[in-house]
Amino acid sequence: MSLKERLNFDKEPIFLIDGTALLYRAFYARADLSRSDGFPTNAINTVLRVLMNMLRDEQPKHVAFMMDGRGKTFRNDLYDKYKANRPPMPEGLAEQIAPVQEGVQLLGLKLLVSDGVEADDCICALANKYKADRPVIIMASDKDLKQCLDTNVAMVSQHGRKETLYTLDGFREKEGMEPATWPDFQAVIGDSADNIPGIPKIGPVTARKIFAETGPTLEDLRDNVDKLPEKLRAKVEPEMETVFMFRDLTRMKTDCCDNPVDDFIVQDMDVDALHAFLEEYELRGLQRDLPRNTATQTATSAPAASSPKAAQDGGMLSLFGETPATPKVEAPLAMTEAPTVGDLPNLAGEDVGVVFEKKAFFIGMEGKEYRYTGDVADLVRALADASVIATPSVQDLLRADSAWNYILASQWFDLSLATYLLDPESRNYTWARLKQSIHHDGRSEFAEAAKGLHPQSQGLAALVYMQGIQGQVKSAELEPLMHDLELPLIPVLVSMEQAGIAVDLEAFKGFLDDVSAQLAELTRTIIGHAGEEFNIRSSQQLAVVLFDTLGIKAGSKTSTGLRSTANQVLEKIRDQHPIVEAVLEYRMLEKLRSTYLEPLPKLVDKESRLHTHFNQLSTATGRLSSSQPNLQNIPIRGVHGPRMRACFNAKEGHLLAAADYSQIELRVLAHFSKDPALIDAFRHDEDIHSRTAALLNDKTVEEVTSDERRGAKTINFGLIYGMGVQKLARELKIKQTEAKEFTEKYFEKMATLKAYYDTIVEDAQKHGFVATLAGRRRLLPELHSRNNQLQSQAKRQAVNTVIQGSAADIIKMAMLAAHADAELKTLGAQLILQVHDELIIEAPQENIEAAGARLKTIMQDVASLDVPLKVDLGIGLNWAEAH
């Protein structure tokens, strides 16, 4: 139900939004979202999500989005301490103002930036202007705006997932006054948020007593102050002059905005520009909720049917872009306490939902819910013969207790994993989000089963969610991928996490000492070049030094108009002054120090081993990632790579063996494309890059120069990773025209590859997705975009997903095979780490060569391709020696 319906408005309301307040709440609501280059996007994401939800759920005809302008307002002139207690705006928030304003306008909404007054004043002025002719809905959180409430004016405020709706009747009942006298009341009690002191030692309760005695306004208070008790009068009288000024601070102006209502007609959203905007800030979750066609779509159009419908409850808007809290239900959930397995029914042959929350397991089956608090091992034994066990995360259960390893992979239905396979770019697969979608998404697969489901249910909710999506998994032909590869991989990952890798703390300390000394020397060098002390880590201070003090020609600017000092900008000007080279070196060493050398030794266990978390649900291509800490991002190349790897070693009496797939993506490409040149080169174990260079330059392999080989290598790998002409030109340090010619010649000589790439794109456009070797799917709706940039990117993603995703499938197959291999078990070998195309095992020193050879064989034989899989093997005391 929309707000218009809930408020019984008989005309279309105008929505007045306090954009500044929304921006601040959005920024602090979620601090963990940023672009890959570190630019914060949390506020942009949440503000646009709220607005998109509003456009869909409310379908408004008129919207005004208000934001505070820069500089002081009349209130600062009245009272110089007004809001003086507030800290300055965080830099990360300030950087997002311009993108938010751009996004708002691309959505088709009118943006108003106030000047000399606050956004709240404009809201109040417009509400006052329009309320006689049409309803007004104010979306804001500032309590001062309650003074705008009227018969035709309502206010909706949201804090977290709690929504509060303010109406005139509700305000009168709760506050016992009229909205017009709200500023008088606020002036007396003060407002700490705005640094308005009010009358000392007078709170809301006392203020109500005062106004009940004197009358509702400050004028009444002034004229009837003698009616107050002596002690109270002694507090009030000395403040009578200033309290009127405080009212001027809290009272909204009504003469500052006079726009005609037609100024705020919601326009057609610019879908193509929005897609480009969201792609620029890497907000792909929002992209998926945008319409895909352009000319006929308007701002009030619903998202495409395939998009997950953002949740709503009676028109409630969600600040977080997710579903609001489940509405309260009068009747409590019927729950049977089960302190022992004897209190549970027979679970054999049953479909069972299992959710662990608040130190208990919630078991759902046959319409009943049980709260089990007994021994985990007993519960596992009771579930051993269950038909299917639906649970939010098998990995979380295995991490918590090894007893769960006794459940067969074929028995599990992992809800987050299944959702990830269906939609690998959602990024949010928490049980809270999945469970809410049952009640709020309105998806037909949940509708029938969710009718009788209590909102507070856990175990039964897991069953309902499984029943809702298992048909989708099957129809998308994802069952083999899920049951044969991804589910069996979970215990392998947990086993690797628990094993960890040994760390040489002395090597870390020595490395840190050397890097710290180099940073100190670089600091002296940079300050010497600058001729003044400044904070090298501050991008703004660095910009002043580089572009003002030293006169270096500035490169590009940030989205907020500031001169950029990003590494890619500095790379282009590194020859203009020696300070630039020093800054780049400083940043590289500082990242090494702050990201690896200082924090990692603090994370080891008592045996000096480091334990990471392997993430199965984090990439669209199916590659694994690593976190807490990220061991897949350890520098392994460059001048510091070998020394960094040398800090990771084997435990006493053991050695490491590192087995690395050689050019696996190119071998996968050769297999799929059937390109004769690639196949022939790999079958004869030739240098593929020299072979390509010879083909491109009409030479024999022996005549190819190192530069020609480098160029061929760049384009060979670049095409897999979606490299365009611009990036190729940068990588090869050639002009774009030359890069374009190089690319055209490459495809002319490798005609089969060109045909294969075209086939991938054509199939994706026809079916809406691409699939990997193991059947993993990725939806690519942007292939149909009228925005050339988005369409080109989607084409590159199609190729990238098939090749990289298939390579990811292969290494996962190898991990499964290695973990289960009887020979490796006999040799005492333990799989401990996976980094991109490399697997690392630890084994007793006397067995390491046999274990390494066995691992190499497993990896090379795990998949049958048209070209052989090749593995490079190394053995050593530490990762550097083994690599």
pLDDT tens by residue, 699-749: 888 888 988 888 888 888 887 666 777 777 877 777 888 888 888 888 888
Confidence at residue 851, expressed as pLDDT on a 0 to 100 scale: 97
* C-alpha span between 65 and 110 (Å, rounded): 6
Q: What is the pTM of this model?
A: 0.64
Confidence at residue 86, expressed as pLDDT on a 0 to 100 scale: 64
What CA–CA distances, in Å, run from 593 to 37, 599, 630, 645, 703? 19, 8, 15, 14, 44
Which tens digits make up the pLDDT trace of 592-644?
Answer: 998 899 999 999 999 999 999 999 998 889 999 998 899 988 887 778 889 99
Confidence at residue 722, expressed as pLDDT on a 0 to 100 scale: 63
* C-alpha span between 252 and 50 (Å, rounded): 26
Confidence at residue 317, expressed as pLDDT on a 0 to 100 scale: 30
Which residues pair with residue 137 across a beta bridge? 15, 154
Confidence at residue 559, expressed as pLDDT on a 0 to 100 scale: 46
Angle between helices 706-720 and 688-697 (to 10 degrees): 110
Report angle CA 537, 540, 541 to the nearest 5 degrees: 65
* Domain spans in the chain, listed from the N-terminal domain onward: 12-261, 335-476, 505-607, 665-803
The candidate with the shortest Cα–Cα distance to 760, out of 804, 812, 712, is 804
- Percentages helix, strand, coil for the chain (3-state, rounded to 5) are 50, 15, 35
416 token code pair? 């987050």
* C-alpha span between 832 and 498 (Å, rounded): 9
Confidence at residue 446, expressed as pLDDT on a 0 to 100 scale: 66
Residues 6 or more apart in contact with residue 245 via CB below 8 angstroms: 78, 79
Sign of CA dihedral 296, 762, 670, 777: positive
Confidence at residue 578, expressed as pLDDT on a 0 to 100 scale: 92
* C-alpha span between 360 and 358 (Å, rounded): 6
Which tens digits make up the pLDDT trace of 114-132?
Answer: 888 888 999 999 999 999 8
Sign of CA dihedral 542, 543, 548, 554: positive
Superfamily of domain 12-261: 5'-nuclease (3.40.50.1010)
The candidate with the shortest Cα–Cα distance to 324, out of 195, 160, 138, is 160
Q: Residue 625 CB: number of other CB atoms within 10 A?
A: 15
**Residue 378 backbone dihedrals phi, psi, to 5 degrees:** -65, -40
The candidate with the shortest Cα–Cα distance to 599, out of 508, 502, 504, 520, is 508
Angle between helices 578-591 and 505-530 (to 10 degrees): 150
Which residues pair with residue 338 across a beta bridge? 372
Which tens digits make up the pLDDT trace of 306-354?
Answer: 332 332 222 223 333 333 344 444 467 788 999 999 999 999 999 999 9
In CATH, 665-803 is 1.20.140.160: no
User: Taking a C-beta distance cutoff of 8 angstroms, is the pair 522, 628 a contact?
Assistant: no
In CATH, 505-607 is 2.160.10.10: no
- In 160-223, beta strands by DSSP E: 162-166
Q: Kindly give the residue spans of alpha helices, DSSP state H, lying in 313-450.
A: 376-383, 394-400, 415-422, 431-440, 444-450
Residues 6 or more apart in contact with residue 506 via CB below 8 angstroms: none
Confidence at residue 362, expressed as pLDDT on a 0 to 100 scale: 96
* C-alpha span between 820 and 754 (Å, rounded): 40
3-state secondary structure at position 161: coil
* C-alpha span between 505 and 531 (Å, rounded): 38
Ranges of residues in the chain whose predicted pLDDT is under 50? 293-330, 442, 444, 559
User: Taking a C-beta distance cutoff of 8 angstroms, is the pair 397, 495 a contact?
Assistant: no
817 token code pair? 């095979």
